[in-house]
Homo-oligomer: A and B are copies of this chain.
Amino acid sequence: MRYPNGKIYSKDKLNLDTSIKEKKHYNLKDNASNRGMGLEEDISNSCEYYNNLNVCLIYKRPTPIKVVKMDKINKSKITEAYFSSKSTTDYNGVYKGKYMDFEAKETINKTSFSFHNIRSQQIEHLSKVTKLGGLAFFIIRMKAYNETYLLKYSDIEPFLVSKLRASLPYSYIKENGFLIEESYLPRLKFLQAVDKAFFGM
């Protein structure tokens, strides 16, 4: 069995839940065959679109990097640095005065979204944001169906905390998530989903 572009189909790939960061290599390969952008790029472009319209201000959090050494001649050049493990979620910002904070994940699994994709720091962080009245959620893309959902952190928390399940079934995502409409501009109309999920609109 082959993909439309002629690549040989690999069953392993389809069973593997992959975080965006891991996906990057995959997408680089994908781009060569024009199979479309990744979720992270879709969201960043949509944020830029919304930000320019002044309806919100949402940015991708810079990855924390610990700088160890600078170049002696070129003062803006860093010659030794390390990725810090302190990072929390991907995006945060302001919408309707409220604090908004979310993490984006995609999976190629057909039946569920594995919790292995979510780090304990991210759970702790989004739990605190929720308690403080912020809008905390995940944007989860089910690549097999080309569907992207907003899932409120509070709707997933019981699963994450109880640890009774290692994944969120696709049926639960369909039922409790808010399907994000896609368009040309913005690529993902995720603020519509935010309005439904948090403002009952």
Contact = CB atoms under 8 A, between A and B. Distances in A.
A157 to B, nearest CB: 16
Contacts of A97: 98-99, 132-134
- The quantity of this chain's copies bound in the complex is 2
Interface stretch (A57-65, A145-153, A162-170): A57-65
Nearest to A55: B132
Interface string A122-140: 0001001101111000000
A95 interface: yes
A7 interface: no
A81 B65 contact: yes
A171 B125 CA distance: 41
A92 B92 contact: yes
A52 to B, nearest CB: 11
Interface in A44-86: 54-57, 59, 61-65, 67, 76-84
Interface residues of A, number: 38
Nearest to A132: B94
A82 B92 contact: no
A66 to B, nearest CB: 9
A132 B57 contact: yes
Contact of A96 (B67, B80, B100, B132): B132
Nearest to A125: B57
Contacts of A84: 62
Contacts of A101: 94
B94 A133 contact: yes
Nearest to A136: B94
Contact of A132 (B54, B83, B88, B131): B54
